[in-house]
Amino acid sequence: MRLLFNSASSVVSMPLRTLSDLLCQALALPIPNLLECRAIVQQLLGAYLQVELEDYIINPLCTISPTLQKKFLDAVSRLNKHEPIQYVIGATYFAGNRLKVTPAVLIPRPETEEWVTFLMHQLAPPTSILDIGTGSGCIAITLKQHFPQAAVDAIDISKEALAIAAYNAAQLGVAVHFIEMDILNEPLPATHWSLIVSNPPYVRMQEQSFMHANVLDYEPHLALFVHDGLLFYRRIIQLAVRHLRLNGILCLEINEALGEKIVDLLYRANFKQICLYKDMHQKERWVIAVLEGRHGS
């Protein structure tokens, strides 16, 4: 990979397109097409050189210092070991926000952004929101931005994840109350919320064989895998019955194979207006339900 530059100890100047092509050539990834490779390289250039799309068109010469050379070489090495690009550059985007991500948190998915965006456009403004299993804080932060009058609480079992989420909220100037707790074994605070949301661990152990190395080897298993695919749904539904306000709404991201079973759990818990939605890939991805006639506000 040192062939990427003439010398790793001297300043190098070259056109951006040339640098982009060299980085693509250095990536030994099983990438299906050149466009995807270029998209990954563009993220690297954006992170390390603050390069915008227009710069590729203008194609100016860029100066690469020894420090930047080392960053590029290290990044290519990590990518070739299947580490996700988001962890390599330490950030990702969700609903227009740039968020810090590390291996302590799950990388936010477009499918999650899809249902969060759906909620923002479909719901009347809630007065209070609880996000269970907040991870990077992407859901809680986005909802607080869209519903600024709502009081937002966000729970996670991981102290490391909560530190990342708190950092993201502070960077974006968003007020979210973060709580460290294990929802499977601890009670929620004595509060009622008008909206409860969650993207809980839902990948069953037997489904690991279908997952790519960049997920299995790098993303936190605590946020992904469960022996019982319904474990968190049963608990979250139980908690929602106790802690949702009158006509409160529960929204859950789900395992595509468990949609009907989760709908049945909701029916048995006396939820109404239960709707199962498909994502952009036509897979059952989230469910919304209303708890009627339970708690006063």
For the chain, domain boundaries: 2-81, 105-291
pLDDT band at 165 (very low <50, low <70, confident <90, very high): very high
Q: What is the structure's pLDDT at 169?
A: 98
pLDDT band at 104 (very low <50, low <70, confident <90, very high): very high
pLDDT band at 2 (very low <50, low <70, confident <90, very high): very low
* pLDDT at residue 295 is higher than 50: no
pTM, entire model = 0.86
Q: What is the structure's pLDDT at 64?
A: 82
**Adjacent-strand bridge partners of 151:** 128
**What average pLDDT does the segment 72-85 reach?**
88
CA–CA dist 140, 169 (Å, integer): 9
The amino acid occupying position 112 is: T
pLDDT band at 67 (very low <50, low <70, confident <90, very high): confident
**Adjacent-strand bridge partners of 177:** 153
* pLDDT at residue 160 is higher than 60: yes
CA–CA dist 160, 223 (Å, integer): 12
| Interhelix angle 110-122/138-146, nearest 10 degrees | 30
Q: What is the structure's pLDDT at 209?
A: 60
* pLDDT at residue 1 is higher than 50: no
* pLDDT at residue 30 is higher than 80: no
- Tell me: the pLDDT tens digits for 233-288? 999 999 999 999 999 999 999 988 899 999 999 999 999 999 999 999 999 999 99
* Alpha-helix residue ranges (DSSP H) falling in the chain: 16-26, 34-49, 53-58, 66-80, 85-89, 110-122, 138-146, 159-171, 213-216, 231-243, 259-268
Please indicate whether residue 11 or residue 194 has the higher confidence score (pLDDT).
194
Q: What is the structure's pLDDT at 52?
A: 74
**Adjacent-strand bridge partners of 63:** 13
**What average pLDDT does the segment 99-124 reach?**
95
Per-residue DSSP letter, 133 = S
CA nearest to 272, candidates 244, 297, 249, 252: 249
Contact by Cβ (8 Å): 13, 62: yes
CA nearest to 28, candidates 85, 89, 81: 81
Class (C level, CATH) for 105-291: alpha beta
**What average pLDDT does the segment 4-29 reach?**
74
Q: What is the structure's pLDDT at 121?
A: 94
* pLDDT at residue 68 is higher than 70: yes
Percent of the chain at pLDDT > 90 equals 58
pLDDT band at 8 (very low <50, low <70, confident <90, very high): low
The amino acid occupying position 9 is: S
